[in-house]
Chain A
Amino acid sequence: MKKIFLIYLCVVLIFLSGCWDQSLLVTKTLINGVSFDITEKSELVGAARILNIESKGGGQFELKDEMIETKSKYSSEVGPEINFKMPGKIDVSKAHVILIGEELGKQGIHPFLEIFYRPKDAYVTSRVVMTKGNAAEILSVEPQKSPIAFEILRALKSSESLTNIPKETVFSAWSKIVDSGVDLMLPYVENVGNDRVAIGGVYLFHNDKYTGFSIPKEKSTLLLLLSDGLQKEGLVAVNLKRNRSTAFRVMDEKRKMELVIDKAHRKITCKMNLELDVNLVSYSNNFIEKTNVNKLNKDIATLLTKEAKEITNILLEANCDAFGIGRKLASSHPDIWKKLDWEKDYKNVQFEPKVKVNITKTGTVF
C-alpha cells in the first residue's frame, strides 16, 4: 500500500511542479523588426516593433504593430531594456530584419550581432541591414499595407534575387566578420519620402566597422558579379556613349581570379576575368537598324571594365577586402600569408579587372 502511494506521489509531483520549460505561444510577444542606433551623446537607442492583435469581434482579428524605443549605455543592456518595456516575454525568434544605423555601424556592429547568435533560441537567419541615417526613423515608417519590417524584407528579397545586393544574415555576417581574410558588405536602406523605404546600395565594412564608403545600387550588381555571387539573374543597366543606354539580364557568369605574386618587389596583383552571358532587355538604338551584337558586346565590355576598375579603387580606399583575396592567399600561398600584415598590405594590391560580355539573346526582336 505504501509503495503504491509513493509511486503515485512521485507521478503527481512531476505533474504538479509544473512543466518547467513551458513558454506558451499566447504569452509571447512577437517582434517584427529591431533597430539599433547611437545618438550624439553616445547613447544606444534600441527600437522594436511588436505585434498587437486587436479583436474586431465575431472571431475577426486585425494585426497591428506598435513601436517601442529604449535608451541604454551598453550593447548588452539593449535586449533586457526592451524586454522590460513590453508586455509578455520577448521573442525575437521571428525578427526578420535587424536595422543598424549608419553612425552605429562606424563603431562596430559585432556586439549587436552577438545578441542574436548567442542564445539558444536565436534566429540567425534574420537579415542585417544598414540604414542611411537613423535606423529608428526607418523602423517607424508606417506604410498602409503591412508592417514596415515585411516591406523591407520583401524589398531585400527581390533585390537579392536580381543580384543587386548580397544576402547577409546574422550567420553569414558573423562568418565574414570573424574571418580575417574577407570583409563584409551589407545592403542599406533609406527613406525615400512618402512613407516608403527603398534599397540604397551597399556599405563597405572592414572587420566589423563601417568604413564610410558605399557603392550605390546602380553599381553594386557589378560588384557582386565580380565576387562570383550571381543569383538567379542579375539586372544591369548602363549608359553607353552617343546617347545609347541598355539594360540586360546576366544569365551566367564565369569569374577567374588569379593572384600574381611578385616576391622580389612584394607586389600582389589580382587579375580578374569576368565573362558574362546576357540577355538584352532593352537597347535604345537607332530605330531603323538591327542591333549589332558584336559591337554592342565590345561597348558594354569596355564600359563595365572601366566601372569595375572604379569599384576596385573604392574597395582599396576603404580597406575592404570584399573579394576574399586574403583567404585565397592563405590557402594558395600560406607562407606569404603568414608574413603579411593584411591590415596594411591590402592597400598595395593591384587589381586588373577585365569584363567580357556575350549577348546570347536579344529578346523577340533583333
Chain B
Amino acid sequence: MRFSKDTFSPGQLTSNENRLTVDLKINIEKINDFLCNTEDLIVTKINRSSEKVTILYLDTMVKKDLLYSYVIDPLLNNDSTDLNSLSKMEINKSSRISIIGKRLVDGYCVILKENCTEGFMIEVPDSQGRSINEPNTEQNINGAHDGFIESMSTNIQLLRKRVRNTDFKVEYFTVGKMTNTKVAMVYIDSLANRILVGEIKKRISSIQIDQLQSTGNLEELIEDNPYSPFPQVLNTERPDRATSYLLDGKIALIVDGSPMVSIVPITFFSFYQAPDDYNHRWLIGSFFRIIRVFSFIIAISLPAIYIAIVTFHSEVLPIGILYSIRVSLEFVPFLPLIEAIAMQIILELLKEASIRLPSPIAQTIGIVGGLVIGTAVVEAHLVSNTMIVVIGFTAIASFVAPINEMGTSARLLGFPTMIAASIFGFFGIILSLMLIFMHLSKLQSFGIPYFSPIAPFKKEDLKDTFIRLPFWKLNTRPTDAKPKKLIQQGMSRVWKKNDH
C-alpha cells in the first residue's frame, strides 16, 4: 500500500525547473502545471502605468475583499516599481515554484512581474467557520458556554484569552503528506515537563502518513497502547476544561479543521471530572464526583451481577426480591445472558439510530424505542421486566461519564464481564474485574501511570479525584504530568487571615 510520496519536496522538480524564469508566460504555465491545471486558479492581469503585473490566486481560498482592498487597489493606485512597500500586509518573496505553489494552496496571492525571477506573495485567506457556541456533547449547567470551532487560530485564541501569560507557548507541526494539516502543540513553558514535551514532539514529527483529518487520527498515531479499551488521550471541545489541564502542566494538541482538542498525558480519573464540579460548592461537587466514579463500576458490572445471581447464586437474594424476580422470569424462554446481550445490542442500535436521524424523526424513535419496544418485548415474554430495569440503569450509568468515550468503553467492557458471569458466576465477575484492574495498572499514557493516584498511591493527588476539596485547599498541582512547579497557591484566603 503505497501512500503518495513527497510531491512537494523540492527534489521532485529539479533545481532548474523549480525556479521562476524571466519570462512571465512560462512562469504562469509552470505554476499552472504545478497545480495540475486546476480551474479555480485565477490569473489576472493588472495594467499599471509602469508595467504589467499578473496576480495569481485560488478563487476558492482567497477573500475577495482583502484581495481588492489590500493588493489590487494599492497596485493600481501606486505607481512605484518597488513592490516591497506596496501594501500594509506582509510580503514574502520566493523564486521557487514549489513554495509558490504551497502558498497558493494556503490562500496566498502571488504577484508576478515580467523580467522578474521572484514572486511576491501576500496572504489573503478566507476563513469561514461557524460561530462559537457550546458543544453538544459536553454540556454543563453553570460555567462558560463557548466551545472550540474548526479554525485552529480561533481555538488558540480561546485558550490564550484565558491564560494571559507570557509562558504560553505554541509550536506548529505539519502532518500528512497529502492534506498538510497544521497541528499546534500548546503548553505553558514554565510548567510542562521538558521530557514530556520532547517525547510528544518526537512522536508527532515522526508521523509518516498521507492524511490527517481529525484529532481522532492523531490520537491513534501517538498513543502508547492502541489495543487498550481505554482512551489514553482526552478529547474535549470545551476551552475551560483545556485551560485547566494546561495549568496542570499538561499539553494540548490542536488539529486544524477539528473542534476537538487533545490533552496529553491523561489519567483515568480525569475522564470523570467535569468543569461543573468547580462551579458548584465543594460538597455538591464531591457528591457528584463520587456518583460518577461509582457509575463506572455499575456500568461494567451491573448486568453481570444480575446474570450471575439469576443463573448461579439465587440464594443471595432475600425472599421478597427473589419472588418478584422469579415471577418475572417465569415465561421467558431464553438464558439471562442472551436476554442481556440482546437488550444491550438493541440499546446500542437505538443510540446509533438517534444520532443519524434528523431531529423531527429522532423524537419518534425515542418513543418507539423506549416505550413500545421495551413494553412490548416484556409483554411478549421475550425479555423479563427486571432485565429491562437492569439494562436501562446500566445505560444511564454509562452515559454519566463526562467524556463520552469513557462511557462507551465501560459499556463495551460489560460484555466480556457478562459472558464471564454466565460461565462462572461470581468467580467470573471478580476474575474479569481483576483483569480490567490489572490492565489499568499496566497502562501508561506517555510514561505516566494511567491509574494514578490510586496506583501508584499518591496521597496528595487524592484531594481532587474522588472528592473535590475546596478550592483554597488545592495547594499543590496534581503530580501526574510531573509539572515543574508543584505548589500553585499558598494561603489563598488572605482576607480571612488578615481579619483576625
Contact = CB atoms under 8 A, between A and B. Distances in A.
Direct contact of A and B (CB under 8 A): yes
A30 B330 CA distance: 13
B423 A26 contact: no
B311 A61 contact: no
A22 interface: yes
A1 interface: no
B355 interface: no
Given A25-B311, A25-B326, A63-B327, 5 more contacts: A15-B423, A30-B322, A51-B326, A59-B378, A96-B319
5 contacts: A14-B423, A24-B335, A63-B327, A96-B319, A121-B315
A23 to B, nearest CB: 7
Greatest chain A CB density within 10 A among B326, B378, B422 is at: B326
Interface residues of B, number: 23
B329 interface: yes
Which 7 residue pairs of A and B lie closest in terms of their CB atoms, listed nearest first?
A93-B315, A25-B314, A61-B327, A19-B423, A25-B310, A26-B329, A22-B311
B425 interface: yes
Contacts of A93: 314-315
Contacts of B43: none
Nearest to A19: B423
Greatest chain B CB density within 10 A among A21, A25, A121 is at: A25
B331 interface: yes
B323 interface: yes
A53 B322 CA distance: 13
A94 interface: yes
B379 interface: yes
A123 B315 contact: yes
A22 B314 contact: no
A94 B319 contact: yes
B424 to A, nearest CB: 8
Interface string A76-120: 000000000000000101101000000000000000000000000
Contacts of A61: 327, 330
B168 interface: no
A94 B423 contact: no
A28 interface: yes
A158 B29 CA distance: 103
B415 to A, nearest CB: 14
Interface string B378-406: 11000000000000000000000000000
Contacts of B310: 24-25
B312 interface: yes
Contacts of B425: 21
B378 to A, nearest CB: 8
Interface in A1-30: 14-15, 19, 21-26, 28, 30
A21 B311 CA distance: 9
Prevailing SS type, chain B contact patch: helix
Contacts of A21: 312, 424-425
B326 A53 contact: yes
A63 B319 contact: no
Contacts of A15: 423
Contacts of A23: 311-312, 314
A194 interface: no
Contacts of B105: none
Contacts of A121: 315
Contact of B422 (A19, A25, A53, A55): A19
A121 B326 CA distance: 18
B435 to A, nearest CB: 16
Interface of B: 310-312, 314-315, 319, 322-323, 325-327, 329-332, 335-336, 378-379, 422-425
Contacts of A30: 322-323, 326
Contacts, number: 57
B152 to A, nearest CB: 44
Interface in A31-77: 51, 53, 55, 59, 61, 63
B259 to A, nearest CB: 41
A179 B311 CA distance: 38
A248 to B, nearest CB: 35
A142 B378 CA distance: 33
Nearest to A28: B314
Nearest to A93: B315
A61 B325 CA distance: 12
Given A19-B423, A21-B425, A59-B379, A94 B315 contact: yes
A366 B425 CA distance: 62
A92 B445 CA distance: 52
A63 B327 CA distance: 9
A10 B107 CA distance: 60
Contact of A26 (B315, B322, B330): B330
Contacts of B323: 30, 51, 63
B310 to A, nearest CB: 5
Contacts of B327: 53, 61, 63
Contacts of B312: 21-23
Contacts of B326: 25-26, 30, 51, 53
B431 to A, nearest CB: 13
A332 to B, nearest CB: 41
A150 to B, nearest CB: 9
A84 B312 CA distance: 22
B315 A24 contact: no
Contacts of B423: 14-15, 19
A189 B410 CA distance: 54
Contact of B331 (A51, A55, A63): A55
Interface in A248-305: none
Nearest to B333: A26
Nearest to A96: B319
A63 B325 CA distance: 13
Given A55-B330, A61-B330, A25 B315 contact: no
Greatest chain B CB density within 10 A among A15, A59, A123 is at: A59
Nearest to A32: B319
Nearest to B330: A53
B325 A25 contact: yes
A14 B423 CA distance: 9
A250 to B, nearest CB: 31
